[in-house]
Amino acid sequence: MKTILIDEPFQIAVTDTEKPEAKEGEALLKVLYGGICGADVASYTGNQPFTTYPRIPGHEFSAQIISIPENDRGLKAGDIVTANPYFNCGHCYSCRRGFVNCCTDNRTMGVQRDGAFREYISMPVERIYDGKGLSAKELALVEPFTISYHALHRAPVKEGDNVLVVGAGPIGLFALIAAKAQGAKVYVADILQGRLEKALHFGADGVINSKENNIVEEAMRITDGNGFDVCVEACGQSVTFLACIDCAAFAANIILIGNGKKETTFLHSILLKKELNVFGSRNSYPKDFAAVIDLIASGRVNVLDMVSDIYPIDRADEAFKALANNDGSLAKVLIEIGKEE
């Protein structure tokens, strides 16, 4: 079968590998579409500290069930599905308390273990989710949506809350969608006007071009000097985290989704003075997958508008190069790995 393999940083190719056999409790899946995540790009460029090589990337995907044992989930051969790619150990302190997304030995597909960018994979049945009639392209977007959905449920977001999302990449845009689904008024900040236009397309109540305007001054103008009830940091940059602190109202919530790679220095007394609640967010829960699938199936949001381009599997190297050199104009890029039977 065809398999996308990163041999070492910047060395990616489509190679032939053996088709897997499903073990007890597993289904055999034919992969249809895969979404390239920032973590995959980091593996490609050598900036992902948890990746070892060679590595098959990919943890955002849709698939068709080829074979599956009898199960109580209603899944059968022929179904179009997606799956939870975060493999938790089941026995660490986090897992024992139900925080499986925070497993201390988490092994995400495409990072700590081989991923889904190949024509066939085997998957434990309990990790597979019924697509509920969604298209294979839509289902390939479920996992990144769950990241933002989970984050927006870390802190209570109420109807009418003023929410600021800093960063309008795919995760930031999904955070916008999740906040709007909870009835919030949502504003989005970014330095790229093209991304802000995308935010408006997805229902943002307003945008801030933080390259041309002072983000804190704009935040205070929008909120009549009060600050935002919830600030979502979706960039992973020191400057944007600090901006969230300054843009937050007293007794507000700050949610961190962006994965920072640099240290941030600030006077922590500001957190006390404003009595801010700061929430980190990692991965997502199984229930988030079900909720996101239901939300998309409800027709309240068209996630396909998130897709900037689709490449066939034989041009996977072009797709990775495009995202590695993304000027901000690309949102989600999919790879067509197989076709439905």
Q: Please indicate, yes or no, if residue 39 is contained in any of the structural domains.
A: yes
Q: Which of 256, 280, 304 is the last residue of a domain?
A: 280
Q: Please indicate, yes or no, if residue 306 is contained in any of the structural domains.
A: yes
> Is-contact 125 69, C-beta < 8 A?
yes
Residue 310 has φ and ψ, to the nearest 5°, of: -130, 130
Q: Which of 262, 280, 298 is the last residue of a domain?
A: 280
124 & 19 share domain: yes
Predicted confidence band at 26 (pLDDT cuts at 50, 70, 90)? very high
Q: Please indicate, yes or no, if residue 126 is contained in any of the structural domains.
A: yes
In tens, the pLDDT along 177-210 reads 999 999 999 999 999 999 999 999 999 999 999 9
User: What integer pLDDT is reported at residue 341 of this predicted model?
Assistant: 86
6 & 138 share domain: yes
CATH number, domain at 60?
Answer: 3.90.180.10
291 & 274 share domain: no
Average pLDDT, the chain: 96
State the Cα–Cα distance between residues 330 and 309, nearest whole angstrom: 8
At 281, the amino acid letter reads: S
For residue 121, the cross-strand partners are 29
State the Cα–Cα distance between residues 100 and 266, nearest whole angstrom: 31
Residues 6 or more apart in contact with residue 328 via CB below 8 angstroms:
169, 192, 194, 195
Average pLDDT over residues 227-243: 96
130 & 8 share domain: yes
Average pLDDT over residues 227-241: 96
In tens, the pLDDT along 117-136 reads 999 999 999 999 999 999 99
Q: Which of 263, 280, 297 is the last residue of a domain?
A: 280
pLDDT at 141 over 90: yes
Which residues form the domain of 95?
A: 2-143+284-336
135 & 6 share domain: yes
pTM above 0.75, yes or no: yes
254 & 316 share domain: no
83 & 165 share domain: no
CATH number, domain at 261?
Answer: 3.40.50.720
Q: Say which DSSP state 133 is in.
A: T
Measuring CA to CA, which residue among 37, 42, 294, 35 is closest to residue 141?
35
209 & 87 share domain: no
User: What integer pLDDT is reported at residue 106 of this predicted model?
Assistant: 95
Average pLDDT over residues 53-60: 97
Q: Please indicate, yes or no, if residue 150 is contained in any of the structural domains.
A: no
134 & 226 share domain: no
Q: Please indicate, yes or no, if residue 226 is contained in any of the structural domains.
A: yes
Predicted confidence band at 166 (pLDDT cuts at 50, 70, 90)? very high
Q: Please indicate, yes or no, if residue 114 is contained in any of the structural domains.
A: yes
Residue 190's alpha-carbon distances to 152, 203, 329, in angstroms, are: 19, 15, 12
Average pLDDT over residues 226-242: 96
Q: Please indicate, yes or no, if residue 94 is contained in any of the structural domains.
A: yes
276 & 288 share domain: no
Total structural domains within the chain = 2
Q: Please indicate, yes or no, if residue 61 is contained in any of the structural domains.
A: yes
185 & 136 share domain: no
In tens, the pLDDT along 259-313 reads 877 889 999 999 999 999 999 999 999 999 999 999 999 999 899 999 999 999 9
108 & 160 share domain: no
User: What integer pLDDT is reported at residue 156 of this predicted model?
Assistant: 86
Predicted confidence band at 242 (pLDDT cuts at 50, 70, 90)? very high
Q: Determine the 3-state secondary structure of 66 from DSSP.
A: strand
User: What integer pLDDT is reported at residue 50 of this predicted model?
Assistant: 83
